[in-house]
Structure 1
Amino acid sequence: MTKYENSLPIQLIKARDVAMQYFRPVLADNDLTEQQWRVLRVLESKGPTDFSTLSHETCILSPSLTGIISRLEKQGFVTKQKSPHDGRQFYIHITDKTQALVEQLRPQIEQQYSALKKTFGEKKYQQLSQLLTELIELQTK
């Protein structure tokens, strides 16, 4: 059996925690959770997104995402609109407040990416990113 230390799922969780150490202070300074930021970044990048796609893209289970969306809506960061084609489905939209926040945080987030790449090494960062992309793509095969 694979040694505990070489367990890929555990290594990935630990690596995520190390990477997030670079970003958590920026998010905390702006009263955002990691999950809220994930949702806002996906919406800012992809535009209005239906709930199930948003759940998949953010890796947040539906019950948890429901609460996150409710809190973001109360804070004025997102709005919900029913699909014109299916009344059971709704799309999440960002607001101007979100767009302004993302623009404000973009330089700080990029600075943290630079710090991570400097510490880890740009080449190793690119290699790791490519390998993780390939691993993720196994899901569609």
Structure 2
Amino acid sequence: MNVVANHTAVPEDTLLPRDTRRALPIALLRAREAVVARFRPILSARDVTEQQWRVIRVLAEDSPLDASEVANRACVLAPSLTRMIKALEDRKLITRERDPGDGRRISLSIAPAGLAMIREVTPETCAIYSQIEARYGREHMERLLDLLCELADLKE
């Protein structure tokens, strides 16, 4: 037994980290990699990074959006988004405007070329989703997505 800060006896084995196969952060990373690895070739063929793709996807769902909202929805850090904006804008995948009421705020929108890329990629991504669903099961997929959304809501 060890004594921790509040002087309570704690069994030795509870002070060791969890088996990495059952550690939630690592399990989530492994699951993410298992899924994202299937999409990488599609993105690579179009010279788009995973982060850039998430930005394009978010803007295809809802445009225009404040840059900070895009960063939040796309799970991208604001400094990374700032660097991406120019590259995506140069490729004419997104457009950027300054907020007329607040010059510090930037509004982002999907551009026609960005929508065209989404439309081009959709059949390929749908096929991947279908493969995953066929292997994992539709009910499992729906339950997993529900659970992940609930888990993500814990941060709030």
CA RMSD of aligned residues (A): 1.2
* Deviation by residue 1:83-115 (Cα, 9 ceiling, x = unmatched): 122111010111111111111111111111101
Relative contact order (alpha carbons < 8 A, sep ≥ 6): 1 or 2 greater? 1
Where does residue 54 of structure 1 map in the other structure?
Answer: 70
1:3 Cα deviation after fit: 2.5
State the distance in 2 between where 1:13 and 1:46 align.
Answer: 27
1:80 Cα deviation after fit: 0.9
Structure 1 or 2: larger helix share?
1
**1:36–1:72 CA contact under 8 A, matched in 2:** yes
2:115 pairs with 1:114: no
2:14 pairs with 1:14: no
Where does residue 79 of structure 1 map in the other structure?
Answer: 95
Question: What's the TM-score once normalised by structure 2's chain length?
Answer: 0.85
Where does residue 139 of structure 2 map in the other structure?
Answer: 123
Question: What's the TM-score once normalised by structure 1's chain length?
Answer: 0.93
State the distance in 2 between where 1:53 and 1:68 align.
Answer: 15
> Larger radius of gyration, structure 1 or 2?
2
Gaps of at least 5 residues in structure 1 are: none
